[in-house]
Chains A and B, each alone.
Chain A
Amino acid sequence: MIAIEKVGKNFGSTTVLDGVELAIAPGEVVSILGASGSGKSTLIRCINGLETVDAGRITVDGFDVAEKAGLAEARRRSATVFQLFNLYPHMTALENVMLAPTMVLKRPRAEVEAEARALLERVGLAARAEAYPAQLSGGQRQRVGICRALAMKPRYLLLDEVTSALDPEMTAEVLAILAQLAREGTTMLFVTHEIEFARRISTRVVFLEKGRIEVNLPTAEFFSEAGGLANPRIARFLSRMAAPEAAAPLSPAPTDAHEAS
């Protein structure tokens, strides 16, 4: 279980997370929605220890990420997939996937390689195992990124807008893999702007607004008129996300983050 307890985070004088309470139990797929700047990425970065929290506590299976030993253990139990892939550019797809299992878990190479190849095969990249990131398309890179995360056999998968740098076709190929993972019961914390997809795969939806959790509801309830849609901010957010192309040229400035209040 990932337990986020009253977490607060400031960058200088701006409060980015404010009293965030959230628990992710094994088997859940929790989607995090929210406007740009609402703190979604920061929340993920606090869980994997890339940022330290200023208040409250985050534990992964009881291991406190604020402690050195706790963080090391927490990082073994979770894996992160990044928006911009962040693959190691000097290593092949296969080497990218194999690095952490061999170096961190100290597992035997042959075994790790067999598993890595199986993972790449599963995402349709068996033939590209020896390719370098620069030789792959964006969608292929992100699929390698997912394999790299899965190679650690994490209990929790943290995903931060993993398709937002991809075109629709590549997005579809990556989402198909995530849907498959969700069906298999992989626990995921999933930051996304793909509302429809979130609705399809998640068990719960969290709406973040200015660093606070505005609602945290089971998926069906979140998208029901009486549930999440009853909240005007969420209704507005969802309608805006539904037709982003139509909205964009009309709005004179990106007002996402500051509008509501």
Chain B
Amino acid sequence: MAFDLTVLVPYLGQLADGALLTAEACFFAVLGSFVCGTLAAFAATSAEPGLRRIAGAYTGLFRNIPFIVQLFFFYFGLPEIGLYIDAFTTGCIALSIAGGAYAADVLRAGILSVDPGVVEAAKVSGLTRLATFRLIVLPIALRASVRPLGSVFINLILTSSILSTITLNELTGAAKIVASTTFRPFEVYFVLLVVYAGLTYLMSLAISLLHRRLNRYMAEG
């Protein structure tokens, strides 16, 4: 059988649906992991030892368990205790929590690199701790953190392929089905390869733009 992409034409709709589902899941996962990561980084850098410990437990735990195990636990385990969540939502939540653990570490490092004098200026001006974090610490930390955060998000896109294991026909799931109906795995997975590369490329492009925007007029720290 020669390499012939035209055999996939009838299945393009199916693959496109899968790609769309992947994009949607990734969109929510990136947002969710940013939120989880920010909350955990706030806790990890707070003066409250209790909060720091919780943040440490969260990142330590979720970075040391295979993602597929976390996913199965949420999807197959939780119904056992009466918690039913649909596959898509479960997938987004699991990705957010796992990604958040990595994002938290990246953000924590960014926060610790913020000039303490600048934070003190905000404090003595009367800003609350939360306002100081939101308006001063986080935006400055993001300047340094946005690139490594981009790597976390790219990893999230790659990891999203595992969602196919919980009946979600996202890109990888759709591709498996198409491959088994057409018996053309070479073409199918070739397309898959290109689409994932395209998605991650878009992500790194967005991160570069964001990085440039956050760092304009910031020749020096």
Contact = CB atoms under 8 A, between A and B. Distances in A.
Contacts of B216: 132
B127 A82 contact: no
A132 B218 contact: yes
Among B117, B118, B126, B139, residue most surrounded by chain A Cβ atoms (within 10 Å): B126
A168 interface: no
Contacts of A75: 124-126
B115 A103 contact: no
B119 to A, nearest CB: 9
Nearest to B219: A134
A100 B128 CA distance: 10
Contacts of B217: 131-132, 134-135
A104 B125 contact: yes
B140 A90 contact: yes
Contact of A89 (B120, B122, B221): B221
A247 interface: no
Contacts of A89: 115, 118, 140, 218, 221
A237 interface: no
A80 interface: yes
Interface in B104-125: 115, 117-118, 120-125
A76 interface: yes
Interface in B199-221: 214, 216-221
A79 B120 CA distance: 12
A104 B130 CA distance: 12
Nearest to B132: A103
A72 interface: yes
Contacts of A87: 118, 121
A88 B218 contact: no
A104 B220 contact: no
A134 B115 CA distance: 14
Given A103-B131, A134-B217, A134-B218, A86 B125 contact: no
Contacts of A76: 126
Interface string A90-124: 10000000011001100000000000000000000
Nearest to A149: B125
Contacts of A2: none
Nearest to A131: B217
A90 B124 contact: no
A99 B125 contact: yes
A190 B27 CA distance: 53
Contact of A103 (B135, B139, B221): B135
Given A50-B120, A87-B118, A89-B218, A100 B140 contact: no
B136 interface: yes
A134 B117 contact: no
B125 A100 contact: yes
A103 B219 CA distance: 27
Contacts of A99: 122, 125, 127, 135
B127 A104 contact: yes
Contacts of B117: 82, 84, 86
Given A86-B118, A103-B131, A49 B218 contact: no
Contacts of A90: 139-140, 143, 214, 218
A160 to B, nearest CB: 11
B121 A88 contact: yes
B140 A79 contact: no
A152 B118 CA distance: 17
A80 B218 contact: no
Interface of B: 115, 117-118, 120-127, 131, 135-136, 139-140, 143, 214, 216-221
Given A90-B139, A135-B217, 6 more contacts: A50-B124, A86-B120, A90-B143, A103-B135, A134-B217, A148-B125
The 10 closest A-B pairs by CB, nearest first: A132-B217, A86-B121, A100-B125, A104-B126, A86-B117, A75-B126, A48-B124, A134-B219, A80-B124, A90-B139
